[in-house]
């Protein structure tokens, strides 16, 4: 890509094939000056020579549509150099401080990590310049809540008395902040022109990249960031809606138990696919206000189909990828008592929200089997239906995945049969 890079370089800064010594001599008069040279050892490759700290530093320069020497990509060499000088200055002058800035965070003092321990009275923080309890929001056209930082906003929310205390890791993504920004973990300035830190895609928490490594697993997703119900991470969904289980699971099961337990072939017979998709869109649009009553969807197989679709579309299956091998090994155990003991241990590998949802589902399926004379659905039949629905092999070859289907069925069958013991 050397030719492509060359045509984009500022001719006034490009000095052709010169040595490191020549570059050092040219830059020795001015701190912060820079030039670009073509490598003498590797023609066609380019080096950024930058004067900082009374010495010339050399960086291999790359271009893939944007200029970069590390992780950050820049539209222009000037921006790359400016950001580099800022970073070098901060890391040189404040290296000791940066190394210690995660030691005494403001994070717990604001109340974020204690939010799940004791309900906090719902209130609005003072917004006047004299307010001792919180930062003064920037005046713009946003509402008061939108102006509060994600950290302070979450600290003022009151959890329901029944709210689950599930842990959830933050989904941090590199982010470019416009205007001055401060880390919500250590309260220090986030420096640089672009990609100054990371932002949680689920709750909006803004922190330094190094601070993100020590932030607790206490993500409280913001409904504004959770755009749908289906295909959304299960723990993210329940924390965003402050529920014990996904509302689609609760609502579908309640509807099925109210009018479908005696329906022949329950869960085995497929509903009309277009109407199942319509239920999905209804949940994505209306959430807990979705109307799935018999007046809208008379065929109960549409509701069972929508529930199965929800589990199939989970990005992380209900029985997670991490726990999958242990469950499959459990399915291979022939001795009933040893299988039950192994299943009990395997359940401990599930995240709390997944475990609670599985517990609720298995209790429901156990009730379905109590009407087997009417619906013809035994625990074995339900295992055939729900095995591949609740469990997915993590990147296994087709033959191995095919062989696992039998054990998936045996696992779900055992979960249903022993529901009262395991949960």
Q: Is the pLDDT of residue 117 over 70?
A: no
Residue 49 and residue 278: Cα distance in Å, rounded? 60
What does the pLDDT read at residue 150? 47
Output the CA angle 193-195-201, nearest 5 degrees.
140
Q: What is the pLDDT of residues 194-213, one digit of tens each?
A: 888 898 888 888 888 888 88
Which among 201, 199, 200, 177 has a CA at the least distance from the CA of 189?
177
Contacts of 100 (CB under 8 A, 6+ apart): none
Joined tokens for residue 199: 């932002």
Residue 313 contacts residue 277 (beta carbons within 8 Å): no
Contacts of 199 (CB under 8 A, 6+ apart): 172, 173, 175, 205, 206
Going by pLDDT thresholds of 50, 70 and 90, the confidence category of residue 111 is very low
For tokens 């696919």, what's the residue? Answer: 273
Q: Is the pLDDT of residue 107 over 80?
A: no
Q: Which of 157-171, 172-186, 328-342 has the lowest mean pLDDT?
A: 157-171
Residue 265 contacts residue 305 (beta carbons within 8 Å): no
Q: Which residues pair with 74 in a beta bridge?
A: 67
Provide the edge-to-edge strand list for the sheet that holds 34-38: 34-38, 46-52, 55-63, 67-68
Residue 377 CA: distances (Å) to CA of 305, 308, 413: 15, 16, 12
Q: What is the pLDDT of residues 19-51, one digit of tens each?
A: 888 888 888 888 888 888 888 888 888 888 888
Mean pLDDT of 255-264: 97
Q: Is the pLDDT of residue 261 over 80?
A: yes
Per DSSP, the three-state class of 43 is coil
Give the residue, 131 or 244, on which the prediction is more confident.
Answer: 244
């Amino acid at each position: 890509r050397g030719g492509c890079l060359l045509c984009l370089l500022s001719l006034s800064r490009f000095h052709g094939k010169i040595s490191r010594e020549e570059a050092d001599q040219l830059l020795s008069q001015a701190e912060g000056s820079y030039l670009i040279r073509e490598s003498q050892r590797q023609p066609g490759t380019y080096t950024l020579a930058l004067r900082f700290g009374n010495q010339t530093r050399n960086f291999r320069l790359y271009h893939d549509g944007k200029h970069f020497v590390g992780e950050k990509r820049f539209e222009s060499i000037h921006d790359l150099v400016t950001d580099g000088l800022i970073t070098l200055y901060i890391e040189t002058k404040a290296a000791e401080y940066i190394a210690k800035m995660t030691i005494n965070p403001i994070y717990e003092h604001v109340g974020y990590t204690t939010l799940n321990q004791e309900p906090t009275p719902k209130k609005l923080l003072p917004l006047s310049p004299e307010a001792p309890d919180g930062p003064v929001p920037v005046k713009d056209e946003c509402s008061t809540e939108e102006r509060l930082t994600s950290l302070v906003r979450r600290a003022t929310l009151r959890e329901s008395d029944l709210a689950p205390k599930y842990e959830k890791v933050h989904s941090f993504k590199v982010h470019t902040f416009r205007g001055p920004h401060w880390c919500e973990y250590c309260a220090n300035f986030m420096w640089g022109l672009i990609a100054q830190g990371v932002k949680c895609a689920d709750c909006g928490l803004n922190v330094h990249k190094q601070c993100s490594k020590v932030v607790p697993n206490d993500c409280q997703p913001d409904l504004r960031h959770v755009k749908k119900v289906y295909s959304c991470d299960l723990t993210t969904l329940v924390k965003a809606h402050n529920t014990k289980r996904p509302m689609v699971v609760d609502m579908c099961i309640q509807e099925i138990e109210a009018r479908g337990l005696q329906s022949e072939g329950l869960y085995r017979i497929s509903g009309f696919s277009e109407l199942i998709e319509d239920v999905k869109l209804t949940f994505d649009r209306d959430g807990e206000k979705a109307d799935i009553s018999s007046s809208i969807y008379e065929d109960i197989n549409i509701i069972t189909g929508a529930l199965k679709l929800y589990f199939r579309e989970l990005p992380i299956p209900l029985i997670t990828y991490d726990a999958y091998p242990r469950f499959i090994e459990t399915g291979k155990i022939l001795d009933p008592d040893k299988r039950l003991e192994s299943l009990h241990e395997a359940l401990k590998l599930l995240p709390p929200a997944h475990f609670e949802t599985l517990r609720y589902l298995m209790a429901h399926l156990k009730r379905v089997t109590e009407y087997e004379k009417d619906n013809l659905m035994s625990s074995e039949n339900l295992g055939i239906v729900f095995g591949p629905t609740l469990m997915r092999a993590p990147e296994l070859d087709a033959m191995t995945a095919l062989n696992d289907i039998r054990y998936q069925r045996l696992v779900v069958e055992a979960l249903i049969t022993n529901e009262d013991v395991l949960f």
